[in-house]
Amino acid sequence: MRRYLVIANVNAGRAEREALDAAVGVLSAASSTEVRMSPDLAALDAALTGLDGQVPVVAGGDGSLHLVVNRLLQLGWLDQVTVGLLPLGTGNDFARAAGIPLDPLAAAGALTTARPCRFDLLEDDTGRVVVNAAHAGLGAEAAASAAGHKRRLGPLAYPLGALLAGFREEGWALRVSVDGTPCAVGERLLMVGVANGPTIGGGTPLCPTARADDGRLDVVAVSAVSPAARMGFVAALRAGTHLDRDDVHHRQGTRVRVSGEPVRHDADGELDVEVTDRGYLVVPGAWSLLCPDAPAN
């Protein structure tokens, strides 16, 4: 019988704590369940090093999952530990990709009978791994603009951030290559997405063809920099038809490099400083997550 160690954010708000308590109640009724609040990396490492056969269950979103997976990698245990997920974040995009119910109570119930599934990761030049997606340009600036509104607006913060960033940015002169072949050269780009999962920002289908278990990464480079082109791109993005546009380049491969003007990157919601060169490669089947037997709606 599985034993669970739920790892939660000590700074969670009241609503998140109430949802966490209810989900923990479901897990506790099924098996031994312990909750560990994680205020810093030292506390997180202490929880992970003291698992003793427990399943670490991340109570949070893509950022929390990103942090735990990276710490397990750095501790040398990522290939030995299966992770669980209770989606309590703002976007919960990887939960969507994995078919995990977005309601924490439903996710807890599904967790008690879930099976281990292997998923890919994206690894960047710094040795950090990305669980769901990385993006540079407008997407990263949107995330930065949305950060101050997450607590109040929840998933609506990302569209607001995109709107605010969109008024300010005029694109970046970037070069993008996939498996060594140029994807976008000599264009100003609004954003570049490197996707393991299909959505970002709480369900925005940046790369609807992406699968987190197919051994490939998906790249979307957007050159819609004029005001009219941006409006058209945003409308197509909402409809999921943006990959058909002439100013959107889509490729699949195993590695990508983005270089040129300094640009901010966002990895699973974790913001970087501006860099002039960054590469990502896919690591197939790098980790294991407990998933429902059937995809959630």
Q: What digits encode the pLDDT tens for the residues 278-291?
A: 999 999 999 999 99
Distances (CA, A) of 89 to 105, 202, 241: 14, 9, 27
Cα–Cα distance measured from residue 30 to residue 4, given in angstroms and rounded to the nearest whole number: 10
Question: Where does the pLDDT of residue 169 fall: very low under 50, low under 70, confident under 90, or very high at 90 and above?
Answer: low
Which pLDDT belongs to residue 231? 84
Percent of the chain residues topping a pLDDT of 70: 89
Axis-axis angle for helices 138-146, 157-168 (nearest 10): 120
Question: Where does the pLDDT of residue 163 fall: very low under 50, low under 70, confident under 90, or very high at 90 and above?
Answer: very low
Which pLDDT belongs to residue 131? 98
Which pLDDT belongs to residue 202? 87
Single out the residue of 100, 27, 35, 90 nearest to residue 64, CA to CA.
90
Residue 264 · residue 251 · CB < 8 Å:
no
Which pLDDT belongs to residue 285? 97
Single out the residue of 56, 105, 106, 113 nearest to residue 85, CA to CA.
56
pLDDT digits (tens, 9 = 90+) for 81-95: 999 999 998 889 999
pLDDT digits (tens, 9 = 90+) for 262-274: 999 999 988 888 9
Q: Which residue in 170, 261, 270, 274 is the catalytic one?
A: 261
pTM of the predicted model, to two decimals?
A: 0.88
Which pLDDT belongs to residue 10? 72
170 is catalytic: no
Question: Where does the pLDDT of residue 212 fall: very low under 50, low under 70, confident under 90, or very high at 90 and above?
Answer: very high
pLDDT for residue 155 is more than 60: no
Cα–Cα distance measured from residue 21 to residue 105, given in angstroms and rounded to the nearest whole number: 10
Residue 118 · residue 285 · CB < 8 Å:
yes
- Say which range, 70-74, 122-126, 129-133, 224-228, has the weakest mean pLDDT: 224-228
Question: Both ends of the chain: CA-CA distance in Å?
Answer: 27
pLDDT digits (tens, 9 = 90+) for 97-154: 999 999 999 999 999 999 999 999 999 999 999 999 999 998 787 766 555 544 554 5
Q: Look at strands 115-124 and 129-130 and give their pairing.
A: antiparallel
- Say which range, 17-21, 68-72, 106-110, 162-166, has the weakest mean pLDDT: 162-166
Cα–Cα distance measured from residue 172 to residue 155, given in angstroms and rounded to the nearest whole number: 27
**pLDDT (mean) for 57-63:** 94
Distances (CA, A) of 57 to 52, 135, 204, 282: 14, 26, 25, 24
- Say which range, 19-28, 57-66, 163-172, 239-248, has the weakest mean pLDDT: 163-172
Cα–Cα distance measured from residue 114 to residue 245, given in angstroms and rounded to the nearest whole number: 39
Q: What are phi and psi of 139, to 5 degrees?
A: -60, -45
Question: Where does the pLDDT of residue 12 fall: very low under 50, low under 70, confident under 90, or very high at 90 and above?
Answer: low
Region of 87 (left: φ > 0; alpha: ψ -120 to 50; beta: rest) is beta
Question: Where does the pLDDT of residue 167 fall: very low under 50, low under 70, confident under 90, or very high at 90 and above?
Answer: very low
Of the CA atoms within 13 Å of residue 106, those in its CB half-sphere come to: 11
As given in the structure block, the two tokens for residue 230 are: 């941006």
**pLDDT (mean) for 2-9:** 93
Which pLDDT belongs to residue 273? 86
Q: Which residues contact 46 (CB under 8 A, 6 or more apart)?
A: none
Residue reference for tokens 């990385």: 134
